[in-house]
A and B are shown apart, each in its own frame.
Chain A
């Protein structure tokens, strides 16, 4: 087993009476692509917010490498090397694609020229190079998702938290993005590999990319394992398709 880069232990968060995340423990291995799946409202985005400092856990703690993240502000966590993207894309709408990505690049490059150069290289990598001078507001959904990814990648993180970066893309756009995400994990000659923790609904992506999958439902972790295990897990099937589904599927299988 590889070293654990991110570890959450017994993390909980409630909004008023709603227990959005309950007692969740999980680990993301260095160099892996780890997926977090679950029905809408399961608490996935909330868990990302807890890990990245945008929300404070009511209970439990989060370790990033050796560092305890309790109470650290989001920008401090980003400086430690963990960058999140937003499910609802948050572009700097009145700035160009290049300027957007440069904001991320400035985290480790003080000089404007260096940051712009870095931003161009990142744009090339995620397929935004032809749109550098467009306003972010004028991009299509697919373009905005790429921008969200590019900006985060430009901070040169150790760990990327991707929140549904494939949602809303058509099958061809998804197919284009899969190798991009894989190459981010593997790294290239001038960019080191990045560990990826991704929330994803597109099962094709989870099956193709993930080394390990966690499943969240109603705020609780209900299963984990390889993508193949998860695809056959009864609890998971029930969580997605409703109570009793696994039984019915099995029954249907026997009748055949």
Chain B
């Protein structure tokens, strides 16, 4: 536990000091987006990696966080710092809502995955319909570049905000490894009936997990709005961030603390390299994700974290 805390603190310090070393906007943007990806991957990891409930529609939480943030600021004049906790709570609430509808009726595996996909699509259509959410045109938040409004004139400020979220995500994952709730959640993942026989309320545990996961994904959505000042139904609830969250966690290693961070950085490195090679061809990113996913599933089903663990075990063994 203390060793994990030290590792997380070291990571936070190294990333926080990165702007001193890499001052270029391109590099800072890379780190911000990789951290943003890590946050989403960790959100997905809490529900799928630790809880065994695979979602294809995590955008439903992302979009809810993003729209809560934008609507509160644009329509109701709420300060961004005050809107942020509301956005997180909205993500958690949507999580509980979807969980209550799906887990109550015992939806598992691909049925649960498809249900989440359907919810994301329903929310996309709703956001597209109502004037309140700006309909198809989306919502633009006023540009202030003022930290009092959770905006910054340099990327460094955004880096610290998203880093704080990623660190919180790492702390949550570590807590899952060392707590009763985490033990129950992993028991439900591995064998729901056996867990119930041991007194675990599988339904409540899954609801808790989807609430936490929803809040984390909503944090990513809220961050997105502050970073890019704009949201529309396709960005918010389209498949892109559902896929990025899922692939990041799968590539890095599900059910591990660090896998989602490793996976997200690997993913962003790869997509930057291919962008240099192919230019900005639309869809190349998703193709890369797909190819990478196939490779990981075939050759490293436990992700990069699992691969790393296997390698160190081998090195130790051969000494």
Contacts and interface: CB of A to CB of B under 8 A. Distances in A.
A125 interface: no
B199 A75 contact: yes
Contact of B191 (A74, A84, A92): A92
Contacts of B183: 99, 102-103, 106, 112, 115
Interface string B193-204: 111111111100
A79 interface: yes
Interface string A215-229: 000000000000000
A84 B194 CA distance: 9
Nearest to B202: A75
Interface in A86-128: 86, 90-95, 99, 102-104, 106-107, 109-112, 115
A52 B197 contact: yes
Interface string B149-181: 000000000000000000000000000001110
Q: Which of B187, B193, B194 has the most CB of A within 10 A?
A: B194
B299 to A, nearest CB: 19
A110 B193 CA distance: 21
A196 B201 CA distance: 24
A104 B180 contact: no
A179 to B, nearest CB: 25
Interface in A58-93: 73-75, 78-79, 83-86, 90-93
A177 interface: no
A151 interface: yes
Most buried by B among A74, A83, A109: A74
B198 A78 contact: yes
A142 B193 CA distance: 21
A103 B184 contact: yes
B190 interface: yes
B194 A74 contact: no
Nearest to A154: B198
A154 to B, nearest CB: 8
Nearest to A92: B190
B242 interface: no
A111 B186 CA distance: 16
A85 B190 CA distance: 16
Contact of A78 (B179, B187, B190, B197): B197
A256 B186 CA distance: 63
A91 B193 CA distance: 10
A93 B195 CA distance: 12
B180 A86 contact: no
Contacts of B196: 54, 73-75, 78
Contacts of B194: 86, 90-92, 151
Interface string B95-126: 00000000000000000000000000000000
Size category of the B interface is: 10 to 19
Given A86-B194, A90-B191, A75 B180 contact: no
Contacts of B195: 92, 103
Interface residues of A, number: 32
Interface in B79-104: none
A152 interface: yes
A155 interface: yes
Given A94-B190, A102-B183, A115-B180, A107 B198 contact: yes
A95 B190 contact: yes
B188 to A, nearest CB: 10
A104 B198 contact: yes
Contacts of A115: 180, 183
A110 B191 CA distance: 21
Given A92-B190, A102-B183, A103-B187, A74 B178 contact: no
A83 B197 contact: yes
Given A92-B187, A155-B199, 17 more contacts: A54-B193, A73-B196, A73-B201, A74-B193, A75-B196, A75-B199, A78-B198, A83-B198, A86-B197, A92-B190, A92-B195, A106-B183, A111-B180, A112-B179, A152-B198, A154-B198, A155-B198
Interface of B: 178-180, 183-184, 186-187, 190-191, 193-202
12 contacts: A75-B202, A78-B199, A85-B197, A90-B191, A90-B197, A99-B183, A102-B183, A103-B184, A106-B184, A112-B179, A152-B198, A155-B198
Interface of A: 52, 54, 73-75, 78-79, 83-86, 90-95, 99, 102-104, 106-107, 109-112, 115, 151-152, 154-155
A-B pairs with the 10 shortest C-beta distances?
A78-B199, A92-B190, A90-B194, A107-B199, A74-B196, A103-B187, A106-B180, A104-B198, A75-B201, A90-B191
